[in-house]
A and B are shown apart, each in its own frame.
Chain A
């Protein structure tokens, strides 16, 4: 009899749990340590602010608290896949935010796709991240577009004709962006050649000596900030006088901190700048961010902020914490107004069409140069 009662109690408890959504669990896997820790930490700062401003989500007429579980993928592909697996299997999350970089996002995305849990990356720009995937979305533009904009900028604004491209062979993002740049730059009639390195390298003197022997007027560095800062420094020390150009991988305060006066004049594309007029929500976000952290917001934080709100918006439309329902709501996103521009997902695609911002380092500060709309 007692056993029976216990059983009934258990069953009713289980039923109660199903009927009532007590919390929404969101997973976050970012590069919190390792050579690109800056990206993950900036993203996480953006999410923390977003959580503070919007800690609950309305499901079935009730305000349900949102819980974000953060795990560190160390900027490592294998670790990123482990993180995704752990978030889904152990932490039982309904949707995942992150990672920032394309290699990690591809590895984590493969797991999320297989387990049918939607993943929204804030800044992974390689086209392969979302290609042939139903559950993977991004809040940023795609590298095909970024490559076009960079090539145009190099040819028209920087008047570059002979470009050296520094390619990190270990990063899908870098190899991809270099290729999209080359494709476009060749159309203008520009000349280019490549030199290669590996993530985590600190000494580029040999590559740069080789590069400088071919007299480029521009060094294009589609890699990440730590290497970019060191490459700029070493190129100047070897006597390079031309321009530097980079993609969104350059967008971290470390570029100036490490590169110092050597990165002066470096131009790069990114997704957000506090002075860029991207959406009516930009200004309130910049103010809230300044109040919270006492520094100017960065692109990674802004896009993570957008990714968080994008996910909450989808959960509210789905009125459920079921991963597949959330995925369907995400895919149906139309005209979501983020702080870094509007996000609409085209049919069967997780890639929003968004403007890019071009930034130049002037007097040790990233200054807004121009906003390029596709």
Chain B
């Protein structure tokens, strides 16, 4: 029984991070109908920013972390400005190909600038306080402080995001843009600005996810974000791409599935990535719009 709860704890701390990254995908998709494949790389860069903030500029860890979130948001808006805005009126496939190009560019740029070897993201070098690594023992279930921090951060980030999207004017504009860009523009909304804010929000969530990820798995290399990025994309689609609650649900479903499959069928644990993608295929076959997705009618 303790084992089962242990698995559940593991699943939620993994799923929480997937959920955070998935929301970035879903927000950009919801508004622009664009799958931002560079999202995984934005995740990677947020870890590098924090890493260099602490190790090179010797900032206190929390300053470096907050700075990293801002820098990542800026990177996201920069990508939008340079790579996606010029293609706003181009066919959707062009934007998709550009997204993949940006992703490869960022990976290789990181390899050249930061080097191909993994850097350790370690409390021993002052990256973050060592008490984050402490473990609580509750009746045989071992709960990492970091898992608690992850869950709290995920919840708080989500509440802030939902507040922005549903309670503010910017959020209202975002929702309007997702329905109809030209009409929104006619209503006097600065569409470019709102889209940029969307990218910044999505990227800062990726940064929060990245930092939590790097603390849990303390290393960073140019391809760190590839697998979490793909998983989060899967989570976003499973939950219903375009829906924030769906992305969150998808993230947790994926986390639970991955952990439980390894737990109950240990002999196929090596293929759990394949299983994650099999879930994706299954959802696409059975319910293409995802669990909480809304049917999108294309205007012809």
Contacts and interface: CB of A to CB of B under 8 A. Distances in A.
Contacts of A237: 133, 135, 142, 144
Interface in B218-262: 218-219, 221-223, 227, 258-262
A205 B222 contact: no
B137 A38 contact: no
Given A237-B144, A239-B142, A258-B218, A207 B262 contact: yes
Nearest to B266: A210
Interface string B100-122: 00000000000100011111101
B217 interface: yes
Given A37-B221, A257-B120, A205 B259 contact: yes
Q: Which of A32, A33, A35, A233 has the most CB of B within 10 A?
A: A33
A258 B144 CA distance: 18
Interface stretch (A61-69, A126-134, A143-151, A193-201): A193-201
B91 interface: no
Given A198-B272, A210-B263, A258-B122, A32 B219 contact: no
A38 B117 contact: yes
Given A35-B221, A37-B221, A237-B133, A206 B116 contact: no
B225 to A, nearest CB: 11
The prevalent SS among residues of B at the interface is helix
Given A35-B221, A209-B10, A260-B122, A254 B270 contact: no
Interface residues of B, number: 44
Q: Which of B6, B142, B227, B263 has the most CB of A within 10 A?
A: B6
Nearest to A37: B116
Interface in A66-106: 72
A206 B259 contact: yes
A209 B263 contact: yes
Interface in A220-256: 226, 229-230, 233, 237-239, 254
A167 interface: yes
Nearest to A262: B133
A8 interface: no
A203 interface: yes
Q: Which of B123, B227, B268 has the most CB of A within 10 A?
A: B227
A231 B223 CA distance: 19
A213 B142 CA distance: 13
B57 to A, nearest CB: 20
Contacts of B271: 169, 196, 198
A25 interface: no
Contacts of B116: 32-34, 37, 40-41, 72
B173 to A, nearest CB: 37
B297 interface: no
A306 interface: no
A195 B261 CA distance: 13
Contacts of B85: none
B79 interface: no
B36 to A, nearest CB: 22
Given A197-B269, A206-B263, A207-B266, A35 B223 contact: yes
Nearest to B4: A209
B266 A195 contact: yes
B263 A38 contact: no
A261 interface: yes
B270 A37 contact: no
B217 A203 contact: yes
22 contacts: A32-B116, A37-B118, A37-B221, A195-B266, A196-B270, A197-B270, A198-B271, A201-B273, A202-B217, A202-B227, A205-B259, A209-B3, A209-B263, A210-B3, A210-B266, A229-B219, A230-B217, A233-B218, A237-B142, A257-B120, A258-B122, A260-B120
Interface of A: 32-35, 37-38, 40-41, 72, 167-170, 195-198, 200-203, 205-207, 209-210, 213, 226, 229-230, 233, 237-239, 254, 257-258, 260-261
